[in-house]
Structure 1
Amino acid sequence: MKSLETCYEINFSKINFIERKVKITNPKTIISGASKTGKTYLIYDFLSNFKSNEYLYIDFSDLRNDLIEIAKNLEEFIKKNEIIVLILENFEFQFSIPSCENIIISTSSNEIIEGFEHINLNALDFEEYLLHDNKHQNITQSFNSFLKFGNLPEIINLEEHKKIQRLQEIIRLICKDETQYEILKIMIENIDEKKSLFQLFNSLKTKIKLSKDKFYEVCKILENSRIIYFLPKYNQEKSTKKIFCYNYSFLNAITYTKKFKNEFSNMVFLELINKYEDIYYYEQIDFYIKSKNIAVVSIPFFNTFLNNNLIKKIIKNALELNIKEINIITISNNEKIQDPKIKINVLPFYEWALS
């Protein structure tokens, strides 16, 4: 029982935890989410309510842990040591879950089990980012860093010259092999683009040996793991979907090609998915939130005069959907556009995200 005995000696009492908007409140909880979004730290926070001899923490990504030994002896070990909290980190349901008063599971699978609450953990939104950021002196500096290096908790306080390298390492960690890496890479390169999977497959198969089945299988894995999102067009399910990634700064980490508008739109999208489920895109409208009758459009560098024709098209399409309000999200502009039929706000991202 060497693995279990060693895991039982782990003590997390000295780890500092910064609050997230999501918290483990149910004694039986499954946490899923993309890599490095903070699942482990939610568990540390939960364990702070218990003494170290009351919990058993097993990380299945730790190569020292013997899966066969753990599966065989776990139930007996829990009873013998009167453990009341069992943590199964990076668990892929390789064996039946034993009986225990509290069971917290982190996984990349989208597993639903009766009696367990399911938490989908996204990376930091901007408000959470500000709580984690103890390096920058004001909101402008924090926003610039958030925009450039993304939303993953561990990146915030890294030295700047190490951030891109770490983002590249995380992309590699996500992928099980070179094929998966190439598929994820082409997805990241096409964030905020309307591209069909068939288009992307045809493009990628000219560079690597790849079957259609394998490509679609990996895309489904990336979607189920909430690494990649496919945003549908409103009322047109067969239309090409827009592609987004759980961390927009990955684009900057894999290419020198600048696609600032795409990254910015992806950043806006991630703020929205923390609040709404019914998000779509439409002609000239980046994001349509049906339940709120709101349109959100990302125009980083907004100018009323230069964008006048675009605004007219956005208003026309918004009225087709009976939208009552348009929010135009920018880097720093803040104004109101007068229109007799619809409310139009022009807001800087940081003000919009914190409102």
Structure 2
Amino acid sequence: MKNLEACYEINFSKINFIERKVKIENPKTIISGAPKTGKSYLIYDFLSNFKAKDYLYVDFSDLRNDLNDISKNLQEFIKKNEISVLILENFDFSFLLPQCENIIISTTSKQNIEGFEQINLNALDFEEYLLHDNKHQNITQSFNSFLKFGNLPEIINLEEHKKIQRLQEIIKLICKDETQYEIIKIMIENIDEKKSLFQLFNSLKTKIKLSKDKFYEICKILENNKIIFFLSKYNQEKTSKKIFCYNYSFLNAISYTKKFKNEFSNMIFLELLNKNDEIFYLDNIDFYIKSKNIAIVSIPFFNTSLNNNLVKKIIKNASELNINEINIITISNSEKINDPKIKINVIPFYEWAIS
């Protein structure tokens, strides 16, 4: 029981927690989400409601913890110490859960267990980022940092010269081997692109030894773990999907090639992901929210005269689906475009994201 005794001494009472838009409210909860999105801090917040003697915190990613020792003695230890809260971080569900009043589990991939509430935690949206950012003095500075270095909580207050290095470390942390790294890398390089998995596989197999089955298997894991997202075209499921990543700044961390529009579109996608169940894309329209009948278009540097032909195409495609509102998201431009049938807004990202 040496492992469990050591875990029982862990105390989180002095950790500062900044509110997220989701929190643990059910005594039996499974939190899933990509690495470094803040799952542990949701747990620390929950534990602040209890005394240290009432909880047992076990992290299975801690190399000092022995799975066999813990699984063998866990129920007895809980009973002996009258523990009312059990935390299982990075749990792989390799043994049956013990009896305990409160059980909170963190994991990378979603798991369904009867009686447990599911929380899927994404990285920070822009509104949450502003709450976490105590370094910048105005919303413009915060937005610039959000765009450049991404949405992971731990990156915000790092010294700037360490941020890219830490993003690279997190990418490597996600990968179990070199093959998985190359697959994640090609996905990140193609964010906001319409590419089929077959196209990506054909491109990658010229660089590394890789079977088609292995490639598809890893892509499925990345999708299940909410690291990579595949966005379908509306009513055309078999058409190539758009690729997005849970942190758009990874592109800046793996390549000197600048794809500003792609990163900006990925950033918009993640904001939409937190607020909508179903998102699609259309011709000339980046995102279509069918339930709200809204089209979202990413044009970082919008200019009415330069983008006039594109706006006409967007309006035409939106009209075919009877879309009643188009939001064109920009870096800083703001204006209204008059149209007799459709409400069209040109909005800076930082206004749109917190509205």
Q: Does TM-score exceed 0.5, indicating one fold?
A: yes
Moved over 6 A (4+): none
Count of residue pairs brought into register by the alignment: 355
Partner of 1:129: 129
| Residues in 2 aligned to 1:321 and 1:36: alpha-carbon distance in whole angstroms | 39
For residues 196-246 of structure 1, what are the alpha-carbon distances to aligned partners after superposition, in whole Å with 9 as ceiling and x for unaligned?
A: 000000000000000001000000000000000000000001111000000
Separation in 1, partners of 2:109, 2:19: 25
Is the contact made by 1:325 and 1:342 (CA closer than 8 Å) also made in structure 2? Answer: yes
1:147 aligned partner: 147
Which whole-Å CA distance do the structure 2 matches of 1:222 and 1:92 have between them? 16
TM-score, normalized by length of structure 1? 1.00
Letter of the structure 2 residue corresponding to residue 23 of structure 1? K
CA distances 1:227-286 after superposition (whole Å, capped 9, x unpaired): 000000000011110000000000000000000000000000000000001100000000
Task: Provide, for residues 312-338 of structure 1, a one-character-per-residue CA deviation record: whole Å limited to 9, x for no partner.
Answer: 000000001110000000000000000
Corresponding residue for 1:64? 64
Q: Which residue matches 2:298? A: 298
C-alpha distance in 2 between matches for 1:127 and 1:109: 25
Could you tell me which residue of structure 2 aligns to residue 245 of structure 1?
245
Which residue number in structure 1 is paired with residue 34 of structure 2?
Answer: 34
The one-letter amino acid paired with 1:314 is I
Report the counterpart of residue 12 of structure 2 in structure 1: 12
Percent identity over the alignment?
85
- Equivalent-residue separation in structure 2 for 1:33 and 1:320 (angstroms): 37
Query: How many Å apart are 1:126 and its aligned residue?
Result: 0.1
Q: Establish whether residue 159 from structure 1 lines up as the match of residue 186 from structure 2.
A: no
**Which whole-Å CA distance do the structure 1 matches of 2:96 and 2:183 have between them?**
32
**Inter-partner Cα distance in structure 1 for 2:110 and 2:24:** 17
Q: Which runs of 5+ in 1 are unaligned?
A: none
Give the equivalent residue in structure 1 for 2:213: 213
2:280 aligns with 280
Q: Distance in 1 between matches of 2:138 and 2:110?
A: 38
Cα shift at 1:109: 2.1
C-alpha distance in structure 1 between counterparts of 2:4 and 2:181, whole Å? 34
**Per-residue displacement from partner, 1:155-208 (whole Å, max 9, x unpaired)?**
000000000000000000001111000000000000000000000000000000
Counterpart of 1:156, as a letter, is I
2:326 is paired with a residue of what secondary structure?
strand
Once the two structures are superposed, the pairs formed by residues 165-176 of structure 1 within 5 Å of their partners are 165-176=165-176
Q: Partners of 2:110 and 2:198 in 1: how far apart?
A: 25
- Report if the CA contact (8 A) 1:92-1:108 is conserved: no
Q: Is the 8 A contact 1:92 1:109 kept in 2?
A: no
What is the alpha-carbon distance in structure 2 between the residues aligned to residue 304 and residue 129 of structure 1? 31
Q: How does 1:337-352 map to 2 (within 5 A)?
A: 337-352=337-352
Shift of 1:292: 0.2
Counterpart in the other structure of 1:81: 81
C-alpha root-mean-square deviation of aligned residues, in Å? 0.3
Residues 55-98 of structure 1 deviation map (CA, whole Å, 9 limit, x = unaligned): 00000000000100001000000000000000000001010011
How far residue 49 of structure 1 moved from its aligned partner, in angstroms, is 0.1
| CA distance in 2 between partners of 1:219 and 1:2 (Å) | 39
Distance in structure 2 (CA, Å) of the matches to 1:338 and 1:278: 28
Distance in structure 1 (CA, Å) of the matches to 2:260 and 2:101 = 49
Q: What secondary structure does 2:333 align onto?
A: coil
Task: Give SS of 2:347's match.
Answer: strand
Partner Cα distance (1:98, 1:180) in 2: 34
| Amino acid of the structure 2 residue aligned with 1:118 | Q
- The one-letter amino acid of 1:145's match is S
SS at match of 1:292: coil
- Aligned pairs for 1:193-212 within 5 A: 193-212=193-212
Work out the CA distance in 2 between the residues paired with 1:116 and 1:255: 41
Aligned pair 1:119/2:157, yes or no? no
- Any gaps of 5 or more consecutive residues in structure 2? none
Secondary structure of the 2:194 match is: coil
Deviation per CA, 1:104-129, whole angstroms, max 9, x where unpaired? 00001221111000000000000000
Aligned positions of 1:105-116 closer than 5 A: 105-116=105-116
Letter in 1 for 2:330: T
Which residue identity does 2:245 align to in structure 1?
Answer: C
Query: Do the aligned residues in 2 keep the contact of 1:17 with 1:45 (CA within 8 Å)?
Result: yes
Give the residue type in structure 1 aligned to 2:140: T
**Counterpart position of 1:310:** 310
- Counterpart residue identity of residue 80, structure 2: K
Give the SS at the match of 2:195.
Answer: coil
